[in-house]
Structure 1
Amino acid sequence: MNYDVIVIGSGPGGYVTAIRASQLGMKTAIVERESLGGICLNWGCIPTKALIKSAQVFEYINHAAEYGIEAAEPKADFAAIVKRSRGVADGMSKGIQFLMKKNKIDVIMGTGKVKPGQKVEVKGNDGTQQELTGKHIIIATGGRSRELPNLKQDGKKVIGYRQAMVLPEQPKSMVVVGSGAIGVEFAYFYATLGTKVTIVEFMENIVPVEDEEVSKQLLRSLKKSGIEIMTSSSVESVDTSGSGCKVQVKTATGMQTLECDIVLSAAGVVANIENIGLEETGIKTDKGKVVVDEFYNTTVKGYYAIGDIVGGQALAHVASAEGITCVEKIAGLHVDPIDYNNIPGCTYCSPEIASVGYTEKAAKAAGYELKIGKFPFSVSGKASAAGAKDGFVKLIFDAKYGELLGAHMIGANVTEMIAEIVVARKLETTGHEMIKSVHPHPTMSEAIMEAAAAAYGEVIHL
């Protein structure tokens, strides 16, 4: 079993890497212990968006009268919503199976472990064992829900994101620990269906990696939808001995006890680097991540690592880009290193959040003199027509050269709008060029042009 490339893990990093390697003429195998598509397609990005879509439809029906439509009182069938989500995930996973066959990639089901001498040991799910040899071995084993020391997950009352997607019944109340993308997305989903949701966030602002103005807008929007939010607070312990959970929360004013049915731990992800042969092979790690160079070579020649197990952002599209960069470099193509300051981040609660580049605070800290333009959706014709007036577009420019340093959006469909900014920054577009790029009317996206105009004192509709 000799290959040019062996990929361990078939998430959005691994399967994309395998396809690109095959396209470049390399004999390729992929090792997967569970389901093709990894966490993203089966237990992450895709099924959560299916759940959120069901919540949005439910929300639309509940507000149908605002659009001049009479509808009978809707009822959310929680089991059917979960079933639809699983169906979407299964369909996507089958799509990856098709792509593997189309690209003549050998799929080997089992748990992979790297060994010295360009080898991978695979323990099959049926107990069999085999050894593969590859000129290039790419580790893409992804991540899992981070377990906090004082918040041990039992999978029933204290759960991670995986269990949150397939609960047997809708809880009446839930405490969500952490307000990153995973936390606020599940908070929105459950609250929209009628669960009483409280978010507990350790930092001063929710979605703490975002620009502070975005955090404050989301706080207002989530509170308006009935979600309780506790910032600068930490969960000290959870008592699950009774029928529900008693959550001890430390706040700035003292301890509080919250009672709920379910506690969702959404405190980020941790890399899957244990028991995969790194130590035996001599591959170095640091602070729970595999050490790699700009083209994803590990410290041992012929072994590479991409995705959540290396130092970049733990995002599906980052893993895919890293994998493509890695195999194109192996194939001898001219490849530029990835610019990690031009990676878009998206959060799919309602309103959505999308951002890329510097926050205002980070740009000031980096020493830039700034021009900032902000355009609220409350004065957007399309947003008014759609009944989605919450939020804004905020653009941050370098005052000296006009470089677009960062963009921060919150509102309906902004996750679809952020790609314009990524391309603009890649092409080193200036503020004036954005103002003179005619945007269609009426659209949400023209708020980008208006925000650029606002930065330069040329805004029309404010």
Structure 2
Amino acid sequence: MDFDVIVLGSGPGGYVTAIRASQLGLKTAIVEKESLGGVCLNWGCIPTKALLKSANVFEYIKHAADYGIEVKESNANFENIVKRSRDVANGMSKGVQFLMKKNKIEVIMGTGKVKPGKAIEVTAEDGSTKTITAKHIIIATGARSRTLPNLPQDGKKIIGYREAMNQKSMPKKMVIVGSGAIGSEFAYFYNAMGTDVTLVEYMDNIVPVEDEDISKQLGRSFKKAGINVMTSAEVTKVDTSGKDCKVHIKTKKGEEVIDCDIVISAVGVVANIENIGLESVGIVTDKGKIQVNEYYETNIPGYYAIGDCVPGQALAHVASAEGITCVEKIAGHNPEPIDYNNIPGCTYCSPEIASVGYTEKAAKEAGYELKVGKFPFSASGKASAAGHKDGFVKVIYDAKYGELLGAHMIGANVTEMIAELVVARKLETTGHEILKAVHPHPTMSEAVMEATAEAYGEVIHI
């Protein structure tokens, strides 16, 4: 065998897996067809955060007078904002190149296909092929933007997330279909830049995977910001034959047609499992995902899969954790399987959303008797001082044992606050322990303690 481990795909699942494998003394290679870092670093998590930061700064300038500062004139240079985002992404990708060299991982550029006999055939850009072998092959091919039959992406008028972050000029009017993390982040960004945005969601609430209280609050915040939010609505077709897009939207009141420059399809992702050789090896898939056990082994010995191409949350931090668990098991360690009910989810629009564990509805359906506490940021000294009073922290405890079942936050910087609750749940912390852990004042994070106090009838500041 040429290697101990070959990883197919270099996203946050693949490159992290390769580094951990190398740390564990395994001779490792990684195969990548485009750019090191995959979608996350190049076209996803990182460049979108750069765009959103530009939107934050622009909003601060527009509301400078609220902070006693006079700014005579400000304009958003859309081209430069996009360029900054691309520069950030390129810098991160170069950082991954450095990490590959530092960890003595062989990088093989080209399109990889798994073959029987623990092999991968790599086709380079010039069409030449070579076959490499390893004791263990880990598939980390990720996912791409899902395309719906009634919303075919043409890359110009109907676009996915990739084109949405690389526009040459700012659209005047836009319809975004799907209000998950991707759709909501782009709705916030383009609205902040000055685009007229309509956000269309098929379900009854936007960000439908979140706790209902969070969804309703974001809906209110978006409407206040001037975003046209349409729920229980379905895009039936888009007519792109003219200069503009004519978006036909079916609602409870009937059909509505909205004219716009561009439509963003943000209706989820689909795993990249086609044309990578799964059938030739006999690897089992179901519902568009590779089937694996709790240590990411497929049905064929020596072949593994992690990240967006396997069942579970399609999140960068999940892919990284899965890859680490997978190679630690390969190396003979005894890692603990991942608890998929303790994975934080973050959405980086404004206000931000962060959550972990059960929603209130899911906790009730699971049969728990609950103690629920909410603390609004309107009662937080730090939030008032910062001018960010929108949102709240909501915590859900089991009334019988005090177990922290879930936490849901919406507000400024809450994506930086959620880790406290993830660690608390991992350590099986009770509500009383969080309540008696002294939180610093004034901070946004003390809202966690205050919400817990509210759940137990001891709240001071509301």
1:369 matched residue in structure 2: 369
SS of aligned partner of 1:312: coil
Partner Cα distance (1:143, 1:286) in 2: 15
Q: Deviations over 1:39-84 (max 9, x none)?
A: 0000000000000000000000000000000002210000000000
Secondary structure of the residue that 1:390 maps to in structure 2? coil
Residue in 2 that maps onto 1:427: 427
Q: Structure 2: state its 5+ residue gaps.
A: none
Q: Distance in 2 between matches of 1:331 and 1:179?
A: 41
Unmatched runs of 5 consecutive residues or more in structure 1: none
Deviations, residues 345-366 of structure 1 (Å, cap 9, x unaligned): 0000000000000000000000
| 1:282 Cα deviation after fit | 0.2
Which residue does the alignment assign to 2:460? 460
1:258 alignment counterpart: 258
Match of 1:182 in 2: 182
Q: Which amino acid is 1:293 matched to? A: N
Map of 1:30 onto structure 2: 30
C-alpha separation between the residues in 2 aligned to 1:135 and 1:244? 54
1:224 is aligned to: 224
Give the aligned residue type for 1:353. I
Amino acid at match of 1:111: T
The CA deviation at 1:313 is: 0.1
Normalised by the size of structure 2, how large is the TM-score?
1.00
Secondary structure in structure 1 of the residue aligned to 2:417: helix
Pairwise CA distance, 1:272: 0.1
SS of structure 2 residue aligned to 1:12:
coil
Q: Match of 1:161, as an amino acid? A: Y
- Tell me how far 1:241 sits from its aligned partner: 0.8
In structure 1, the residue corresponding to 2:293 is in which secondary structure? Answer: coil
- The residue aligned with 2:5 is 5
Q: 1:259-307, CA deviations, whole angstroms, 9 ceiling, x for partnerless residues? A: 0000000001000000000011000000000000000000100000000
CA distance in 2, matches of 1:175, 1:157: 11
Aligned to 1:41: 41
Moved over 6 A (4+): none
In 2, Cα distance between the equivalents of 1:210 and 1:200?
17
- Residue 413 (structure 1) shift: 0.2
Letter aligned with residue 158 of structure 2? V
Residue of structure 2 equivalent to 1:124? 124
Pairwise CA RMSD: 0.5
Instruction: Please give the alpha-carbon distance, in whole angstroms, between the structure 2 residues aligned to 1:324 and 1:101.
Output: 19
**1:125 Cα deviation after fit:** 1.4
C-alpha displacement of 1:334: 1.5
CA positional deviation for 1:168: 1.0
Map 1:437-448 → 2, pairs under 5 A:
437-448=437-448
Match of 2:395 in 1: 395
Separation of aligned partners in 2, 1:230 and 1:337: 40
In the TM superposition, residue 126 of structure 1 has moved relative to its aligned partner by 2.1
Counterpart-to-counterpart distance in 1, 2:156 and 2:334: 50
Aligned residues: 462
CA shift for structure 1 position 407:
0.1
* Post-superposition CA distance 1:3-34 (Å, at most 9, x none): 00000000000000000000000000000000
Distance 2:345 2:149 in 1: 28
- Structure 1 CA distance, aligned partners of 2:113 and 2:127? 15
Q: Report what 2:269 is aligned to.
A: 269
* Amino acid corresponding to residue 409 of structure 2 in structure 1: M
Where do 1:400-419 residues align within 5 Å? 400-419=400-419
In 1, Cα distance between the equivalents of 2:66 and 2:98? 44
Identity across matched positions, percent: 77
C-alpha deviation, 1:128, in angstroms = 1.5
SS at match of 1:206: coil
Q: Distance in 1 between matches of 2:128 and 2:321?
A: 33
Matched, 1:94 2:88: no
- The residue correspondences of 1:75-154 to structure 2 (distance < 5 A) are 75-154=75-154
Superposed counterparts of 1:320-359, under 5 Å: 320-359=320-359
Letter in 2 for 1:373: G
Inter-partner Cα distance in structure 2 for 1:149 and 1:296: 32
Tell me the amino acid that sits aligned with residue 304 of structure 2: Y
Q: Name the amino acid aligned to 1:81.
A: I
Distance in 2 (CA, whole Å) between partners of 1:71 and 1:126 is 54
* Match runs of 1:242-253 below 5 Å: 242-253=242-253
Letter paired with 1:431: G
TM-score by length of 1: 1.00
Which residue identity lines up with residue 248 of structure 2 in the other structure?
Q
Aligned equivalents of 1:15, 1:415: Cα separation in 2: 24
The Cα shift of 1:103 comes to 0.1
Once the two structures are superposed, what CA deviation does each residue of 1:111-132 show, in whole Å capped at 9, x if it has no partner? 0100000000000112211000
